[in-house]
């Protein structure tokens, strides 16, 4: 069983429900990367944990806003505005973290491929 984010990203890159002309090639490369590369598996597991933690913590923060919804503390309009701001800040924060992790995974792939190229040269 693979992390949820793996399936979401794979679906987005292959065209998923909308179809793609070369999705089989991309599907195979995703599966091959999952089986072959530890950095790929570790990256998607970590991203899934981060997104899960982030979305659950957002729910907790929104619940705190609702429980503080008394006429003295916060009006419903202010609570709605705060909830929306928190939602978009959370999404932006975890989207940036995802971009950072994807770049890191690509760099690890390049380092791995350059190391294998160097080992072929020395043979």
User: Rounded to an integer, what distance in angstroms lies between the CA atom of residue 19 and that of residue 95?
Assistant: 25
Among residues 121, 89, 115, 104, the alpha carbon closest in space to that of 46 is found at: 104
Contacts of 45 (CB under 8 A, 6+ apart): 3
Tens of each residue's pLDDT in the chain, 123 residues: 888 888 888 877 776 655 555 555 667 788 888 888 888 889 889 989 999 999 999 999 888 888 877 666 777 788 888 889 989 999 999 999 989 988 998 888 888 777 765 555 555
pTM of the model: 0.69
Cβ atoms of 83 and 39 closer than 8 Å = no
């Amino acid at each position: 069983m693979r992390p949820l984010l793996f399936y979401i990203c794979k679906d987005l890159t292959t065209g998923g429900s909308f179809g793609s002309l070369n999705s089989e090639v991309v599907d195979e490369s995703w599966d091959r990367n999952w089986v072959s590369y530890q950095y790929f598996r570790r990256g998607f597991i970590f991203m899934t944990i981060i997104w899960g933690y982030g979305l659950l913590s957002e729910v907790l923060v929104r619940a705190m806003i609702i429980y503080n919804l008394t006429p003295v503390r916060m009006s419903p309009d202010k609570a709605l505005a705060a909830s929306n701001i928190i939602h978009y800040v959370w999404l932006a924060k975890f989207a940036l973290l995802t971009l950072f992790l994807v770049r890191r995974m690509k760099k690890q792939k390049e380092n791995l491929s350059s190391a294998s190229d160097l080992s072929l040269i020395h043979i």
